[in-house]
Amino acid sequence: MTWSAPFVESGTVAYSVNGVNVSKNVVRQVLVNDDFNGTFPGAVHMTYTNCSNSANNGTFEIYAAISVIQSGSSVTLGYANQAGGTCSFVGTFSQAGQFGKMVGNYSCSSGDNGTFNMFEMNAGFNSVTGRLTMASSNIGCKGDGYYGGIRHR
């Protein structure tokens, strides 16, 4: 038996019984949507490439206050960093098994804006985590990173 999962939300299981080959697609099932609402002190880790200003290229880690407002499939995730900068990500949420995905547009107080894709999003009882890619519409940067925080009660 073999298992192939190029994506978190789906994969293929293949096996052979008495010389009969069988291949089945498998997808994660949602039992209940996660509740991402809340405030999460945490951090953001990002690597930026292809920036118009090469000084903006590189890997950065910032402490951030992450806040999430979720209403059905509409989600706004924002963060404020220790230097006073903010970014807001507004998009459409979907879930496959325990992992969420969100796509939409972002804007930051620095003037940067563009599109994003968040994936492998997970909301636990005491935490929130996820990965993200960003494509700037105005400063040319491509971003790839992850974030995490603990639930503030």
pLDDT above 70 covers a percentage of the chain that reads 95
pLDDT band at 8 (very low <50, low <70, confident <90, very high): low
CA–CA separation, 41 and 60 (whole Å) = 17
Q: Measured between alpha carbons, how far is residue 19 from residues 15, 16, 22 in Å?
A: 10, 6, 10
Task: Give pTM, 2 decimals.
Answer: 0.79
Q: Looking at residues 110-116, what average pLDDT do you find? A: 95
Give pLDDT tens digits for 44-61: 999 999 999 999 999 999
Q: Which of 84, 77, 81, 103 is nearest to 92 (CA)?
A: 103
Q: Looking at residues 116-129, what average pLDDT do you find? A: 93
Res 53: pLDDT: 93
Q: Which of 98, 109, 105 is nearest to 137 (CA)?
A: 105
pLDDT mean across residues, the chain: 91
CA–CA separation, 55 and 49 (whole Å) = 10
Of the two residues 33 and 38, the one the predictor is more confident about is 38
Res 30: pLDDT: 63
Domains delineated in the chain: 1-28 (no CATH), 38-150 (2.40.128)
CA–CA separation, 33 and 16 (whole Å) = 35
Let me know: does 84 contact 105? Beta carbons within 8 Å.
no
